[in-house]
Amino acid sequence: MVLARLAGIRVFGTGGLGGVHRGGESSMDVSADLTELGRTRVAVVSSGCKGFLDIPRTLEVLETQGVLVATFSDGTDEAGRKGVDFPAFWVRESGVPSPAVVRDEKEAAAIILAQERLGIESGLLFANPIPKRFAISREEMESAIQLAVAEAEEMGITGSANTPYILKRIKELTQGRSVSANKALVQSNVARAAKIAVELAKMMGGSPVTPRTVTSYSGTDGAGITSPPGLKLDAEVKEESHPVDVLVAGSVALDLNCDYTGGAAPLSGTPASLSPALHTSNPATIQQSVGGVGHNIALAAHRVSEEGKVRLCSMVGDDIAGSTILSALHRSGLDTSCIRQLGHEYPSTRTAQYVAVNDAHKNLVLAMADMAIFSTHSFPAYWESAVAAAKPKWLVVDANWSEADIQTWISAGRAHGARVAFEPVSAAKSQRLFPVLPAARHHHHHAHHAHARPLGLYPRADVDLCTPNEYELRAMYEAAKQRGHLDGHAWFEVLDAFGIGLRGGGSSARDRFVDIASAEIADAGVPVQSIQLLPYVPTIVAKLGARGALLTTILAPDDPRLRDPDHARYVVGRCATDHPHVGGVYMRLFPAAERVADVVSVNGIGDTFTGVLVAGLAMGGKVERLIDVAQRAAVLTLQCEDAVSVEVASLKEDVRRAAEESR
C-alpha cells in the first residue's frame, strides 16, 4: 500500500486482508494491515479477510480507522443488496453483514474519485467474494478452522508464526482445496481491481486529482456527464479552496547532477583527469532532486511564508519522473493543487528534466535540458482560471512558457489584481517577454507572433518586477530594441521624464552610474539597459553574483526618497517634464551579503533570491528592505547541494521583520 501510494497507484489487488485474530481482545494480535488502511489512501480489493480471524472485531477496527468497507454484490438485485455478507476468503458468506455494498466496478471507481476530490487520506476496502465454483462451504471451512486454531493454541503458536501454521493445517484438512481456492480468488481480485482502475481512468481522463483541487468546473464528456474537477485542462476553474499570497507559474523538473569522481591515470606518471572522458562511461556521483525555476522560486517563497500561502502551477508528464516529482512536492508541503499531470493522449508529455555533467571540481562541463512540455502545451483558459481561483497578491511567471502563454499569464495576473514578477530563466528565454511587434515583423520570420501585443507601459505596466542576471538583462534589452519595443512615442515619453539624458553626449549619467555601482558594472551596460527597460518593468533587480544586486526603480512624484538626504546619492534622475506619474529614478547597489569561499553548488541561488524577495513583497515589504535577506537566502543555497536550501526556512522571521519595517 505504501509503495502504491508513493507511485500514484490508486487500486491495489491482493488475496486476503489481515485483521484481528481470534482472542485478539486479550492477545492484542492485530495485523498492521488495519492501521495501514487507516492512513494510506489506496483502494484495496481483497476477498475479505482470512476466515480464521475474528471478522466482527476486524470490521469494528476498520470502522474506527475511518475505512470504508464495501462488498461487491455480484449482480444481485436492488432488494437483495442489503443482505450481502462480508466474505471470509475461501468462503463467500461469513455470516457477518457487510458494512456497505457496491454494485460494480464503475460504482467503486466513483467512490475512489469522490475520496480523491475530498482529500481524505484513509484507505478503502472493496471485498470481492471468491467465485462460486471455487468457494468452499462455510460449514466445512469453519470445521477445519476450529481444529487448526485449537491445535495452535495447544501448541502455543502465536504472533507471526500463527498464520503460517493455521494455513498449513487448513491445506491438510481440506486435501489441498484451500490452495486452489486461494489461487482462484487472487486471480478474481486482480481482474476486478484492473476493471476498477479502467473505470477510474475513464472518469479522470488520464489525469490525477489532488487534495484541495477545484470544487466547481465546466466541461462534459461525450455522454453529457459533467467532468470531474481539475481534470479537463481546458476547463474553467471557478473556485479554489483558498486564496494565496504568491502564485508561481513556471517549470518543475527532475534534476540529475552528475559529478565526475576522477579516474586512474591513463598512463603511468601522468596525473588523473579532472574532466570526464568523451565517448565512454565515466565514474560519477549522481544525485537526483526536484528542480525547475518555477519550483525553486515557489519552494523558497514557501519556506519563508506561512503555511498554504504559496502555490505552484505547473505541468508534469504521466511517467516515472512525473510521479517522483509529485511525491517529492507533497513531502515538501508545497501547495500542488495546480500541478497538472498530462496523460499520453497529449504528444511530448515527457516530464521536464535537466541533466548536468560536472568535472571533479564540480564545474559544469555539459548540461542537457528537456523543457518541451512547457512550450508545446497551452491551456490558456485554465491558466486564467487558476489565477482567478488563487487571487494572489503576487504572480511570478517564469520564461519557460511559450511567448503566448507568458502573455496569457501576465494578462490574467493584471485582470485579477495581482502584482506580476517575471523571471527570465536564461538569456535565450528571457527574450520571450518582448515578442516581435507588428511594426517590426517584416525584419523577422516569426509567423507565430501574429497575436503579439506590446506590454503595458508605466504607470500601467503589465510587469512590476524582474530579477535578471547580467546576461539575461542584456538579452532582454537587445530583444526589446530589435523587436520594436524601444521605438514608440509612449515609451520615449516615460524615458524622457526620467531626466537622465541617456542619449546625450555628456558623461554625467555614466559618472553617476560609476559612483553608485562601479566602472565595471557601468561599462557592462547594466545601468543603461535597466533604465531603458524601466518603462515596461518599473522595478528591476539585476543579480550580479559576488558584486551584489543592482536595484533600479521608478519613483512616483510623492515618493519620500526624492526628498530624503540619505537617499539623494541614489536618485540618478529627477523628472524634468510635467509627467504626472514619474518623479525620478532610484538606483542602488546592494553589496553581496557575504563572500563564500567554499561554494557547494550555484544551482538555484538566483531562484532562491527571487522567491524570498517576492514572499517579502507579498507581506507588504519594500524591495530595498528585502534585498539583503534575499541575498542571505541565496548564500545558504550556495552552500548546499539542494536547489533551495532547507536552511532558508531559518530566515522566515527575518523576512517578516523586514516586511514590517517597510510599512
pLDDT digits (tens, 9 = 90+) for 305-329: 999 899 999 999 989 999 999 999 9
Cα–Cα distance for residue pair 370/93, rounded to 1 Å: 55
Cα–Cα distance for residue pair 614/300, rounded to 1 Å: 10
What's the pLDDT tens digit per position in 149-180? 888 878 888 777 877 888 888 888 887 788 88
Q: Is the pLDDT of residue 422 over 80?
A: yes
Task: Identify the pLDDT of residue 223.
Answer: 28
502 band by pLDDT with thresholds 50, 70 and 90? low
* CATH class of the domain at 246-262+281-662: alpha beta
Task: Identify the pLDDT of residue 363.
Answer: 80
* Sign of the alpha-carbon torsion through 525, 530, 531, 532: positive
Cα–Cα distance for residue pair 384/237, rounded to 1 Å: 8
Share of the chain above pLDDT 70, in %: 87
Kind and range of the H or E run holding 311: strand 310-317
CATH 3.40.1790.10 domain range(s) in the chain: 2-204
Cα–Cα distance for residue pair 151/174, rounded to 1 Å: 16
Per mean pLDDT, which range of 10-24, 289-303, 363-377, 412-426 is the poorest?
A: 10-24
Q: Is the pLDDT of residue 647 over 90?
A: yes
Q: Contact, 102 vs 71, CB < 8 A?
A: yes
Task: Identify the pLDDT of residue 291.
Answer: 92
Question: What number of CA atoms fall less than 13 Å from residue 581's CA on the CB side?
Answer: 11
What's the pLDDT tens digit per position in 464-486? 999 999 999 999 999 999 999 99
Tell the residue number behind the cell numbers 524601444, with chain if given.
486
Mean pLDDT of 520-525: 94
Q: Is the pLDDT of residue 392 over 50?
A: yes
Which residue, among 15, 58, 12, 13, has the nearest Cα to 181 in the 3D structure? 15
At 546, the amino acid letter reads A
Q: Is the pLDDT of residue 286 over 90?
A: yes
CATH 3.40.1190.20 domain range(s) in the chain: 246-262+281-662
189 band by pLDDT with thresholds 50, 70 and 90? very high
Share of the chain above pLDDT 90, in %: 50
Which residue, among 61, 82, 53, has the nearest Cα to 70 in the 3D structure? 82
Mean pLDDT of 584-598: 87
Strand pairing category for 353-358 and 253-260: parallel
439 band by pLDDT with thresholds 50, 70 and 90? low
Specify the length of the chain in residues.
663
Q: Is the pLDDT of residue 440 over 70?
A: no
Mean pLDDT of 616-634: 96
The DSSP secondary-structure symbol of 136 reads: P
Mean pLDDT of 265-278: 68
Residue 653 buriedness (CB in 10 A; 0-12 / 13-18 / 19+): exposed
Which residue, among 427, 247, 466, 232, has the nearest Cα to 336 in the 3D structure? 247
Mean pLDDT of 607-619: 97
Q: Is the pLDDT of residue 593 over 90?
A: no
Average confidence score pLDDT of the chain: 84
Architecture of domain 2-204: 3-Layer(aba) Sandwich (3.40)
Q: Is the pLDDT of residue 414 over 80?
A: yes
Beta bridge partners of 97: 85
56 band by pLDDT with thresholds 50, 70 and 90? confident
Cα–Cα distance for residue pair 403/568, rounded to 1 Å: 39
Strand pairing category for 68-72 and 124-127: parallel
Beta bridge partners of 315: 340
Q: Contact, 490 vs 513, CB < 8 A?
A: no
Q: Is the pLDDT of residue 78 over 50?
A: no
Task: Identify the pLDDT of residue 266.
Answer: 52
Residue 397 buriedness (CB in 10 A; 0-12 / 13-18 / 19+): buried
Q: Is the pLDDT of residue 267 over 80?
A: no
C-alpha separations of 329 from 77, 295, 298 in Å = 45, 9, 11
Task: Identify the pLDDT of residue 218.
Answer: 30
What's the pLDDT tens digit per position in 199-240? 998 887 644 444 333 333 333 333 222 333 333 333 344 444
* Sign of the alpha-carbon torsion through 443, 448, 451, 455: negative
Cα–Cα distance for residue pair 68/127, rounded to 1 Å: 11
